[in-house]
């Protein structure tokens, strides 16, 4: 059954518009709607030497079939000012957020079965006077979601995070029983409900070196993590750990798990990005909608050059399709 997905190109001066256009060279199994400036896509296609037919759609006139190779559905969203590859402009900060709002609201009203996002530039949005900490937090507020979980995935490995963009000195205090319970329950629920895994096995990292070395290198494992895991095991969640992070990411452990839960950003993501950078996907769990994203930034220096790889965006698409119920595709 054909579904419909929103595709947001993110920062207009970055490689997001390029990714959307390069992707349009190939046919997709579902209808993709770029929520973007039609003028931006047209000018960037000319710069890249691509012949892509832009087919305008809008609420009440949504496509019901996948578009052919060489075409792209576009929900025209006006820029604040004409964008130029590689040149950030605060005048377009509101445009970026409007594309996200349109796509997110479209998912909520079921115009779209999910949304896939290209990278935004947080700095220029904040410089424009708009408080913005990232896609995840923005979409959580838009959808009225109290708790979300960031998970990155590549083929053969999924890594979810208990804490995300925190200074390292604040991480230990943020590892609480309440936070751990919320994160693990969300991870379990979405692995079952959105990835179709009947009984997921989750490996849990310790916070400290050697998972605390029996309390000699920290007591968070003894006082917080292990008691919380034990409580959740009684709920039927298959949890292994806490394990030392330096040995958890080895074939012996990963072979029989469906996801790894890391305590902080740079504990789990360097391993995942080493394994799959350029072919990984960022997934926001806990939302009432499906949202995936690429695993890289705006790459301003490469915008308009054509020297980019669409691998991460393709994995983000495949993952969104799977999460929305297309079990014919391999998951991340």
User: Cα separation of 181 and 178, whole Å?
Assistant: 5
Tokens of 62: 């949504």
Does 291 belong to an annotated binding site? yes
Does 256 belong to an annotated binding site? no
Does 273 belong to an annotated binding site? yes
Q: Tokens 């629920």 appear where?
A: 189
Does 143 belong to an annotated binding site? no
Angstrom distances, CA of residue 268 to CA of 164, 180, 225, 248, 286: 11, 16, 17, 10, 19
Does 275 belong to an annotated binding site? no
User: Cα separation of 85 and 172, whole Å?
Assistant: 41
134 touches 166 (CB < 8 A): no
How many Cβ atoms are within 10 Å of 110's Cβ, its own excluded?
9
User: Cα separation of 17 and 25, whole Å?
Assistant: 13
Does 165 belong to an annotated binding site? yes
User: Cα separation of 212 and 30, whole Å?
Assistant: 48
User: Cα separation of 249 and 135, whole Å?
Assistant: 27
Give the residue ranges of DSSP H helices in the chain: 16-23, 38-48, 93-108, 122-127, 135-142, 171-174, 177-193, 220, 226-233, 245-248, 251-254, 265-276, 311-323
Q: Give every strand in the sheet of 201-205, ordered side by side.
A: 53-56, 71-76, 31-36, 4-8, 114-117, 291-294, 280-285, 149-154, 157-161, 259-262, 201-205, 238-243
Binding residues for substrate are 135-136, 273, 282, 291
Residues in the annotated binding site for a divalent metal cation? 165, 210, 265
Annotated binding site: 135-136, 165, 210, 265, 273, 282, 291
């Amino acid at each position: 059954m054909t579904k419909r997905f929103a595709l947001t190109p993110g920062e207009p001066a970055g490689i997001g518009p390029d990714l959307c256009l390069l992707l349009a060279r190939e046919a997709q199994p579902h209808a993709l709607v770029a929520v973007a400036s039609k003028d931006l896509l047209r000018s960037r296609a000319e710069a890249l030497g691509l012949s892509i037919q832009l087919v305008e759609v809008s609420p009440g006139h949504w496509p019901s079939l996948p578009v052919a190779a060489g075409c792209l559905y576009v929900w025209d969203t006006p820029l604040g000012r004409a964008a130029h590859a590689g040149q950030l402009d605060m005048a377009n900060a509101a445009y970026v957020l409007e594309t996200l709002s349109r796509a997110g609201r479209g998912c909520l009203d079921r115009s779209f079965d999910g949304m896939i996002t290209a990278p935004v530039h947080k700095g220029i949005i904040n410089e424009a006077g708009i408080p913005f900490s990232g896609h995840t937090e923005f979409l959580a507020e838009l959808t009225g979601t109290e708790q979300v979980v960031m998970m990155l995935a590549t083929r053969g490995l999924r890594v979810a995070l208990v804490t995300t963009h925190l200074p390292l000195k604040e991480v230990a205090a943020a590892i609480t029983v309440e936070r751990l319970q919320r994160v693990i329950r969300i991870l379990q629920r979405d692995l079952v409900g959105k990835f179709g895994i009947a009984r997921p096995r989750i490996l849990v990292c310790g916070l400290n070196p050697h998972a605390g070395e029996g309390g000699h290198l920290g007591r968070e494992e003894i006082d917080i993590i292990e008691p919380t895991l034990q409580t959740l095991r009684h709920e039927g969640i298959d949890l292994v750990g806490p394990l030392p992070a330096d040995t958890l990411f080895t074939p012996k452990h990963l072979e029989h798990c469906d996801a790894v839960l890391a305590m902080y950003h740079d504990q789990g993501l360097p391993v995942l990005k080493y394994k799959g950078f350029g072919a990984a996907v960022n997934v926001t769990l806990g939302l009432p909608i499906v949202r995936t994203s690429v695993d890289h930034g705006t790459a301003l220096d490469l915008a308009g050059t054509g020297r980019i790889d669409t691998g991460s965006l393709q994995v983000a698409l495949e993952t969104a399709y799977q999460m929305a119920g297309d079990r014919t595709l391999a998951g991340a």
